[in-house]
Amino acid sequence: MTYFLSDAHLGSRAIENPIAHQQTVISMLNEMEKDATAIYLLGDIFDFWCEYFWRDRSKEQYRPILDKLKSLTNKGIQVHFFIGNHDIWTFGWLAKQTGAIIHRRPESITIHGKRLFLAHGDGLVPSNYISQVPKHLQKKIKSFIFLRKVFHNPILQTLFRLLPPAWGNAFGYNWAKNSRLKELARPCPYKGEDKEELVLFAKEQEQQGNHHDYYIFGHRHIELDLMLSRDSRIIILGDCWQQFTYAQMDNQGNTTLHNSTPL
C-alpha cells in the first residue's frame, strides 16, 4: 500500500492539545506501517518549521514523530516529505533525523502503472489565472504570490536562519496560528469544479497533454475526490488536524480516501 497525508499543522498554537494531536498523527502512521511500502507527506505536516544555524531546543517537541518516521524508514518504508507553505525551511536536518526524502517541488511519479502528480498545492494555478478572477481576489492572490517569493528566497532564508530560534519561532508560530484561527473563523469550502484552483490547474495539465492518472494535493483542507475525465482523477487530501484524512493506494493503483478517528 502507498499512503498520502498532509496538513497536520503539528505544533500549531491554535490547537488545544498539541501532544494528543501529535499522538493521533503517530497512530495513523502506526496503522499505515502494517502494510505500507511508501508514505507521502504532502506538506504542512508542521505548522511552522525552520532549521536555524543554531541549535533549536523547541524541535524536541517533535521528537515522538521524528522517531516514528525514523523507525519507518529504518524498516525500509519510503517516507517522502513534500514541503508545504508552512514547513519550507528544511535544510538537511529533518532528512537526517528521519531518513525521509525531501521534495521541494511538485513531482510526477509512476506507482503501480499509474502516473501521479504530487504536490502540496500552494501556488499552483492555471496560466493567466489572475486576470480571470474578480479584482478583490486578484489582490489577495498577488500578495500570496509575493509572500511565497519572500519565503522561498535563498538570501532571505539565510538571514532568517541567522535569527535566534526563539525569535524566529515567535514570529513563525504566531503567523501560522493566525492563519489557523482565520480558517476556523472563516472556512473556505470547495469552490466548485469551475473555480477551485487545483482542479483548474489539473484540467489544464490534461488539456496540454501532460496526462496523469491521479493528481494528489493537500493545502486546501477540503476532502475532494473528483473525476476529471474517464482516466484522470484529482484527490485533495483534507487535513490531519480536524478531519484526519488520508488516501490509500493499493497495488493495483486503486485509490480511496479515508478518515482516522482522533485519539
Residues in the site for Mn ion, rule: CB under 5 A?
44, 84-85, 219
Which amino acid makes up residue 36? A
12 DSSP 8-state letter: -
Residue 250 beta carbon to Mn ion: minimum distance, rounded to whole angstroms: 27
**Is-contact 216 235, C-beta < 8 A?**
yes
- Among residues 212 and 219, whose Cβ is nearest to Mn ion? 219
Residue closer to Mn ion, measured from CB, 59 or 219: 219
Place of cell 486576470: 131
- Tell me, what DSSP letter sits at residue 89? B
Q: How many CB atoms lie within 10 A of CB 160?
A: 18
Task: Identify which of residues 12 and 169 has a Cβ nearer to Mn ion in the complex.
Answer: 12
Cβ 252 to Mn ion shortest distance, Å:
30
Task: Tell me the β-bridge partners of 5.
Answer: 41
| Cβ 199 to Mn ion shortest distance, Å | 17
Residue closer to Mn ion by CB (options 9, 59) is 9
Helix (H) or strand (E) holding 197: helix 197-207
* Total residues belonging to the chain: 263
Give the shortest CB-153-to-Mn ion separation in angstroms.
18
**Grid cell digits, residue 73:** 524508514
